[in-house]
Structure 1
Amino acid sequence: MTTTPTRATVPAERRLPGQRRLLTGLMANSVTLYAIYGAVPAVLLANLVADIAPESKSTSLGVISAVGAVGAMLANPISGALSDRTRSRYGRRAPWMAGGALLGGLSLIAVGVGNNLLWVAVAWTLAQIFLNGLQAPLTAVIPDRVPEERRGLFSSAAGLAQMLGAVVGTAVAAAFANALGLGFAVFGVLIIAGTAVFVLLNREPSTVEVRHEPFRWKDFLRGFWISPRAHPDFAWAFLGRFLLILGYYAVSSYQLYVLDDYIGLTRDQANDLMPLLSLAMLPGMIAMIVISGPWSDRVGRRKPFVIAASLGMALSLFLPLVLHSEASMFGYAILTGAAFGMYMAVDTALMTQVLPRPDDAAKDMGVLNIANALPQALAPAVAAAVIALLGGYRSLFATAIVLVVLGAVSILPIRGVR
């Protein structure tokens, strides 16, 4: 890894050697991380909360998620910024990735042994903090090590890994619906082991000799403010991702309760159906991820793909809004898989091209990752509020449609990326 990465200039000797191993490792670790993001809130945590507080499950899940969201929002950019300045024989990213994975995995195990809402809320908040502390330096791998002309490929791989993680994680988690403690432990061990393998096989050069400006808290904290006026492309990209991710996860994080309370299935039937819905997402998702990233590289354009994906997701959400059936949920899953696959394949590449300060890649990507991590964490709380205040699950689908359409509109003003 270079000590001063740039968006377009990665040293020639770093471009090809190890790139395939790096790509494979990035995919594997991202699959594990996003399996947790997909499996825990939507399946394991939702079932655990329903077991502890069945009469207030929707509100309780929303509150726990909101508390965790605060930790996620703070941990991502802070860990990214600190990793930018880290001096160690193991590099600047690896220590943060390894520490975040270890503590995050242990926190997940702790969630699974909880038998009251307070314990679950505290343990899940700690898991959110540590896992987001892992995510920021992991995301910085692309701007750190990958030349701009290959970022579409890496973005596609990262998007595929994220979607595969969410789909596979949901399917695996559903198998532990009646053994929740074991399910949490499995995911905790997987993230620890997966990150250890990535760090060991993709070693960074030592940064012990790297010199930084003297640390000042005022400058450190000021660095997290990225002026929308000075860097409008960054601001619009942030807003677009935030809105789309919030709309998507507001529905997917409450999918168990949607199937139970809106479609009319029992909880056992809902748990059985969730893996099938996840599998229905796969064909379109894989096809669009494989096609969209390299295609966007060839044509040199990112925005049309991101906008089309956002509008496609709005269409998918329209089906269960008007049809209210199991069939409409399968239609939603199929279309969402294709739309979200295209989005994740290209949006990461777009993000790396709007970073305002290449030397602060991890911190800036950490700030952008707030637009990914925070809405995921907030989504259950937002969903609970919408369901309670606006009239049930139909209003949830309608709200999600509005959010993803606004996400598409937010991409239009970006000027520095076509």
Structure 2
Amino acid sequence: MHPPRPPETPPEEREGRPDRTARLTGQHVGPGFVTRYVLAVLGLWTALLTPSSITLGLRIAELDPEGKAGSLATVSGVGALVALVANPVFGRLSDLSTSRWGQRRPYMVGGMVFGAVSLTVIGWAPNVFLVGLGWCLTQLCFNAALAALMSLLPERVPEDRRGTTSGLLGITNQVAQAIGSYLVTFTGTAGPTMFLVPAAVGLVPVLAFVVFLREVPRTREELPDRSWTELFTSLWINPVRHADFAWAFLSRFLMHTAIALLTTYKTYFLMDRLGRTASEAAEILAWAMLVLALGVVVGSLGCGWWSDRVGRRRIFVGSAAFLFGIGMVVIAFSHTLSGFAVGVAVAGVGQGIYAGVDYALVAQVLPDSETAAAKGMGVFNMANSLPQTVGPLMAPVLLSFGGGQNYTTLYLGAAVFAASGAVVLRFIRGAG
């Protein structure tokens, strides 16, 4: 006599979050969805990273030419602290939203629109203090939009496509900086236009994505009890209970600290070590960011697709961090534009491979991805925001060795951070 067969699990309970969302909304993830999604993320990064990597430093140098390094460190650090809190908090608010417009769309639209408005404060500010205030508001708003956008990777994209999609997302950061660099060559290096044009260019693809995004509003009965205490505990994911997530977080923090040291101070590197003017530095950065973007595209797209085929993530991410460190060593000892370009290209390939696979890796170890994807991705994105605080605060100390403007020490320090980010990945057990 055969033992009784266990009851069959209903299909609704077997399906993952992406399949369930597709069934409820009737919107499946295909090439059209992925294209609109990637362009929306690219738009957000264009609006945010153009000031972060270029125009914010130029504006501060215009207002405080003698103390520009310290002022930029303070403004960038405080703004990054705002981003650090805003991303997971708005992510959690988005998870708990019962708006008839959906969970994600209000935060995408509101964040982008108010972020663009906040940039006007920087463009018209008569002093560094108001520049800092404007930058904090900008970080607050754009990170609200970022938290909602990034939650869609674990929510909507099936696991067997996450490497490829992550690879496409991985190129958006550097392509956005390249776009921003070229926009600045047209807007000039002074006045509010250099802030407003990238913001407008970034807003369009986000709005286009929102128009076609289908969401099913959640009811209050579907949500857990909410409180202000619960909202602020959204900043915490237990690193002991979720060790794999903690190691992935630490790796990204170390890698992005290295990236922050390159991104934030490359303008001053060209001005101080290579003796270029602000306008010359802007022109050089346009093609340098193109070189970096090409490296990112090559590394991100190829390895994102490859990681899907072989089903492994860690080997790609770890190798990428070491490669980025090699690029930092080249820049550290460079005293020519050609040396700078070689270092940027090598770093670009490493950064591209890292960005192209890292999101797929964290989506695989993300806690509570079924019910709190925006919170988890928001906490993970703190590993992007923290380096924007730590990097600028650490940089003046590294630069001060040997009498100041010691870019060799600065970029060797970046190489050490990148290599450390590779090493900690070996402790992840729940992902290949």
Under a length normalisation based on structure 2, what TM-score does the superposition of the two structures give?
Answer: 0.91
Cα pair 2:44 2:206 within 8 Å, conserved: no
Instruction: Mark the CA change 1:36 to 1:189 in structure 2 (over 3 Å): closer, same or farther.
Output: closer
| Structure 1 counterpart of 2:412, one-letter code | A
Alignment of 1:173-188 (within 5 A): 173-188=184-199
Alignment deviations for residues 276-316 of structure 1 (CA, whole Å, 9 cap, x no partner): 11122233322222211110001000000001110000111
Partner Cα separation in structure 1 for residue 384 and residue 345 of structure 2: 22
Alignment of 1:4-403 (within 5 A): 6=16, 10=20, 13=23, 17-208=28-219, 211-358=222-369, 359-388=371-400, 391=404, 392-403=406-417
Partner Cα separation in structure 2 for residue 372 and residue 88 of structure 1: 28
Cα pair 1:94 1:199 within 8 Å, conserved: yes
Partner Cα separation in structure 1 for residue 52 and residue 29 of structure 2: 35
Cα pair 2:42 2:202 within 8 Å, conserved: no
Secondary structure, aligned partner of 1:340: helix
**Higher-Rg member (1/2):** 2
Alignment deviations for residues 252-298 of structure 1 (CA, whole Å, 9 cap, x no partner): 21111000102222333222211111122233322222211110001
Partner Cα separation in structure 1 for residue 401 and residue 116 of structure 2: 35
Q: CA deviation at 1:190?
A: 2.7
Alignment deviations for residues 350-408 of structure 1 (CA, whole Å, 9 cap, x no partner): 01111111211110110001111332354333323322357521111111011111111
Alignment deviations for residues 206-256 of structure 1 (CA, whole Å, 9 cap, x no partner): 224652122123333334321111111111100100110110121221111
Structural RMSD (CA): 2.2
Under a length normalisation based on structure 1, what TM-score does the superposition of the two structures give?
Answer: 0.94
Partner Cα separation in structure 1 for residue 367 and residue 267 of structure 2: 40
| Structure 2 counterpart of 1:115, one-letter code | P
Cα pair 1:21 1:202 within 8 Å, conserved: no
- 2:422 is matched with which residue? 408
Q: CA deviation at 1:15?
A: 9.0
Partner Cα separation in structure 1 for residue 207 and residue 367 of structure 2: 31
Partner Cα separation in structure 1 for residue 277 and residue 38 of structure 2: 35
Cα pair 1:6 1:143 within 8 Å, conserved: no
Secondary structure, aligned partner of 1:406: helix
Partner Cα separation in structure 2 for residue 111 and residue 300 of structure 1: 45
Q: CA deviation at 1:6?
A: 4.7
Cα pair 1:105 1:191 within 8 Å, conserved: no
Partner Cα separation in structure 1 for residue 76 and residue 185 of structure 2: 20
Q: CA deviation at 1:410?
A: 1.5
- 2:9 is matched with which residue? none
Structure 1: 5+ residue stretches without partners: none
Instruction: Mark the CA change 1:89 to 1:330 in structure 2 (over 3 Å): closer, same or farther.
Output: same
Partner Cα separation in structure 1 for residue 51 and residue 15 of structure 2: 34
Structure 2: 5+ residue stretches without partners: 1-11
Alignment deviations for residues 102-127 of structure 1 (CA, whole Å, 9 cap, x no partner): 11110012211112111101011100
Q: CA deviation at 1:8?
A: 7.3
| Structure 1 counterpart of 2:314, one-letter code | K
Instruction: Mark the CA change 1:223 to 1:268 in structure 2 (over 3 Å): closer, same or farther.
Output: closer
Partner Cα separation in structure 1 for residue 425 and residue 225 of structure 2: 37
Cα pair 1:159 1:289 within 8 Å, conserved: yes
Cα pair 2:105 2:210 within 8 Å, conserved: yes
Cα pair 1:90 1:207 within 8 Å, conserved: no
Secondary structure, aligned partner of 1:228: coil
Alignment deviations for residues 90-113 of structure 1 (CA, whole Å, 9 cap, x no partner): 110111111111111100122111
- 2:8 is matched with which residue? none
Partner Cα separation in structure 1 for residue 81 and residue 288 of structure 2: 30
Length, aligned pairs only: 416
| Structure 2 counterpart of 1:403, one-letter code | F
Cα pair 1:104 1:131 within 8 Å, conserved: yes
| Structure 2 counterpart of 1:300, one-letter code | G
